Amino acid sequence: MAEFSDVRWSVLDLVPVSTATTPAEALRASVDLAPVVERLGYHRLWVAEHHGMPGIASSSPAVLIAHLAEATTTLRLGSGGVMLPNHAPLVVAEQFGTLEALHPGRIDLGIGRAPGTDQATAYALRRSPDLSADAFPEDLAQLRAFLDGTYPRIRAVPTGENPPEVWLLGSSGYSAQLAGVLGLPFAFAHHFSARFTDPALELYRSSFQPAGGLDRPYAMVTAAVFAADTDEEAHRLAAPQGLSILRLRSGNPGLLPTPEEAQTYEYTPQEREAISTFTESHIVGGPDSVRKGLLALLERTRPQELMVSTNIGDPVARRRSYEIVAEVAKDL
C-alpha cells in the first residue's frame, strides 16, 4: 500500500478568465469541470471569493456552488473561502443553509478573515469605514450559532439538522491557531504563502482542542500544480500565472494572459526574480516531475488532504492537468 493512500485529494478552482475567454465562458468551463473532477475521484471542489480581479470569476461563491452541485452527485462543494469580513454572518448562514438543504451532506463552508480584494473594494462591499478584521472571532461565533440554531432570538432559515461543515482558511498563523482552539478543520494556502506553511501547520496541530466535532486535527494544504504530458508543455502553461501574479503585486490586476503572451513579454531581471520568488512553491512538469513534487510536499507537511489548484486558462489543458494529478495520486 502506498504511504499516502489515506490522503484525500481535492480541487480549488479559481475560475480563470484569460484574454482569450469571457467571464461567461470561464464560468461554464468551471461547471463543466466539476463532473470531470468527480469522475476522477477527487473528494471536494472549492471556489474562492475574490473581488475586483478581472482574471477570476468567482466573486459569488454561493451562486457558483449551487450550479456546481447541480452538475454533480457525490462531490463535496464549498467555499475556499467566503471572506467573512465582507458579509453579515446571518446572510452567510442563510446562503449556505440553503445550499445544504438543497444538497444535504455535500456542502462545505470555508471561512477566511481577509477581504480578498483592495481596500476601496472592501469598503464598497462592507459600506463601513472600519476595515479591520479584528471582529473576525466574534463574527465567526455568530455564524456558527446561526448555523446550529443556538443564536438567541434570531433564527437563520433554512438550517437543517446537519449544518454545512465549517473550515477555517489561512495563510499565516492567526487562523491556524484559532482553528486549533475551536477544534475545526484547517486549510492552509500553501499556493501563495509557502514560507508560512510549516509554522502554521505546527501551530494548528499544537493548539488543537477536540471542541468542534473533530477528535484530532484535520489539515488540508492547497498547492499550485501545473501538470502536462511533458515538462516543457507544463512550464509553458504555467508561465501566465507568473505574469499574472507580477501584475497583481504591482497593483494592476488583469485577465490571465495566454501562454503566448507570457512568452513574448519582455521581462526585466527584477521581474524574473520576483516571479521566481512568487512561484517557487509551484509544482510544474510532466507526470514524473509532478509526482516528485507532490511526494515531497506530502512528506514535508503530512496533511490529511491535499487540494490542487491549477490556474490554466485553457479548459482542455486544465482538465488534462487534473487527470494527470489523479493518476499520479494513485501511486503515492
Helix orientation angle between 23-39 and 61-70, rounded to the nearest 10 degrees: 50
pLDDT the model gives residue 32: 98
pLDDT the model gives residue 143: 97
pLDDT the model gives residue 133: 65
For the stretch 247-259, pLDDT in tens is 999 999 999 999 9
Among candidate residues 142, 72, 62, 67, the one with its CA nearest the CA of residue 109? 62
pLDDT the model gives residue 1: 40
pTM above 0.85, yes or no: yes
Query: 2 with 299: CB under 8 angstroms?
Result: no
pLDDT the model gives residue 121: 83
pLDDT the model gives residue 126: 75
pLDDT the model gives residue 125: 83
Query: 188 with 170: CB under 8 angstroms?
Result: yes
Buried b or exposed e, range 117-146, using 16+ CB within 10 angstroms: beeebbeebeeeeeeebeebeebbebbbbb
Per-10-residue mean pLDDT for the chain, 332 residues long? 86 98 98 98 97 95 98 98 93 97 96 84 74 82 95 90 93 96 97 96 97 91 98 98 95 96 97 96 98 98 98 98 97 90
Beta bridge partners of residue 46, listed in sequence order:
12, 78
- The torsion angles phi and psi of 188, rounded to 5 degrees, stand at -105, 140
Helix residue spans in the chain (DSSP H): 23-39, 61-70, 89-102, 119-126, 136-148, 173-182, 197-207, 231-249, 259-264, 269-279, 287-301, 315-329
